[in-house]
Amino acid sequence: MTYASNATSTSLTVDVLCAGFACHDLVFDVPHHPGPDEKTRATALLNCGGGLASNAAVTAARLGCRTAFAGYIGNDVYGDFHMAELQADGVNTDWVIRGSEPTPLSAILVKPDGLRTIVSYRGNSEGACGGQYDLSSLRAKSILIDGNQFTFAQ
């Protein structure tokens, strides 16, 4: 398995660093959650990036903060889509690790009352960041760490 980050030795200062989990979400609006051996037809589909740290990075960037995301996103169609979304929202992705493990994927079934059921696939992405993550060239005023995927060098 191969992993790579775009981070350079150049120092970067951001308002918010969000570090941790990113996934790709397929959100289906459904009339009800299906039971065993039951099919249901979705009334709408949202195809978007997700994950606690990734969502927080997008939110901070949309609020006008200089924001960076650090975490794992696979080199696949879902990862490419997610990276494009992050970059379009102004999130710095230099500290994203890309690799051969698939991007985590979630199918989310949402009923009209807002109750949801989530099925997730993470593969081996939780170990994909390879131990410690060096953010020594990054300066952040605020840091959100969601506790997923990697540890930080001291």
How do the domains of the chain map onto residue ranges? 3-152
Name the nearest CA neighbour of 23 among 133, 140, 103.
103
Q: Looking at the domain 3-152, which fold is it?
A: UDP-N-acetylmuramoyl-L-alanine:D-glutamate ligase (3.40.1190)
**Banded pLDDT at 113 (limits 50, 70, 90):** very high
User: Which residue is associated with the tokens 């997730």?
Assistant: 120
What pLDDT was estimated at residue 111? 96
What pLDDT was estimated at residue 3? 46
- Model confidence, pTM: 0.82
Q: CB within 8 A of 46, min separation 6: which ones?
A: 25, 26, 27
What is the per-residue pLDDT across 46-75, written as a single tens digit (0 to 9) for each? Answer: 999 999 999 999 999 999 999 999 999 999
Q: CB within 8 A of 48, min separation 6: which ones?
A: 24, 25, 27, 85
More confident residue, 123 or 71: 71
Q: Would you say the C-alpha torsion 54, 12, 98, 3 has a positive or negative sign?
A: negative
What pLDDT was estimated at residue 144? 87
